[in-house]
Amino acid sequence: MAMAISSGVSRSTLPASRKTSGLFQRLAAGFAAYRARQRELAELARMSDRDLHDLSISRADFRAIAAGTFRRGV
């Protein structure tokens, strides 16, 4: 039987301000990641078709590239 190791402080005993702070940190991190993906997509959109061809990608690959799921066919 696996035993969980804990710091002795459950989430329910944390002060509300600390829970809220963690929520805002996660929201801020998520928003920062969203903005980074948007900047990547904008940079790719500015490239010419020739530049994209040189990189062996197409405009249809943009979302997969931004999401980190793009795989080149070999």
- Residues 18-56 have pLDDT tens digits of 677 889 999 999 999 999 989 989 999 999 999 999 999
2-6, 33-37, 58-62, 63-67: least confident range = 2-6
Residue 21 pLDDT: 84
Quote the CA–CA distance of 14 and 57 in Å, as a whole number: 48
Query: The whole model's pTM is what?
Result: 0.59
10-23: average pLDDT: 70
